[in-house]
Amino acid sequence: MTSTSDQQLLQEFRNPITKEAAFTMLVKKYQERIYWLIRRMVVSHEDANDVVQNTFIRVWNGLEKFREDSQLYTWIYRIATNECLSFLEQQKRKSLASLSEKDQERAEQVKADSHFDAQKLEWKLELAIQQLPERQRMVFILRYYQEMPYEQMSKLLETSEGALKASYHHAAKKIEQYILNH
């Protein structure tokens, strides 16, 4: 199966006859990347699926108005990022637990994974990432896992490249400290 270009998907989406098929192709094209971006932020598979679903509902509702000022996947990532941050904010408001208790809860979710091995560096990394503040976690995930350039991240998160570099640097230092101390 050849990959359909974003331009072609948008043209097909704007045609009432091919709209649903085009959206299905768009979801197939971006679903996995969006899922892993969100999963690393919210940890739980079920929560990640809910946020992914909300993301694609917002994409469906907004795609006709997409002005193509940015690339399609940048626009979808922005929606996913906002959905993710909204979900985390809702979770915080729902819970009367302190922030450190929420961090601990996310860490416990990581440890509950059937593949968890505390001796493996990748699990220490996952636990360290869960200790980061939400914005730093998002920046770290986008840069480290998604290998997103700062310029693109700047558009996505609507902040300066300098602030993103500083945030990534602070996140990396905190992760390094966590790994060295655990």
Domains and CATH numbers, the chain: 1-94 (1.10.1740.10), 97-182 (1.20.140.160)
Mean pLDDT over each residue of the chain, to the nearest integer: 83
Q: What pLDDT score was predicted for residue 181?
A: 83
Q: What is the pTM of this model?
A: 0.68
What is the percentage of the chain residues whose pLDDT exceeds 90?
Answer: 35
Average pLDDT over residues 143-168: 88
| Range from 12-21, 30-39, 70-79, 101-110 carrying the lowest mean pLDDT | 101-110
Contact between 178 and 131 under an 8 Å Cβ cutoff? The reply is yes
Instruction: Give the residue, 145 or 117, on which the prediction is more confident.
Output: 145
pLDDT in tens, 74-86: 899 889 988 988 8
pLDDT band at 133 (very low <50, low <70, confident <90, very high): confident
Q: What pLDDT score was predicted for residue 1?
A: 42
Residue with tokens 């570099």: 165
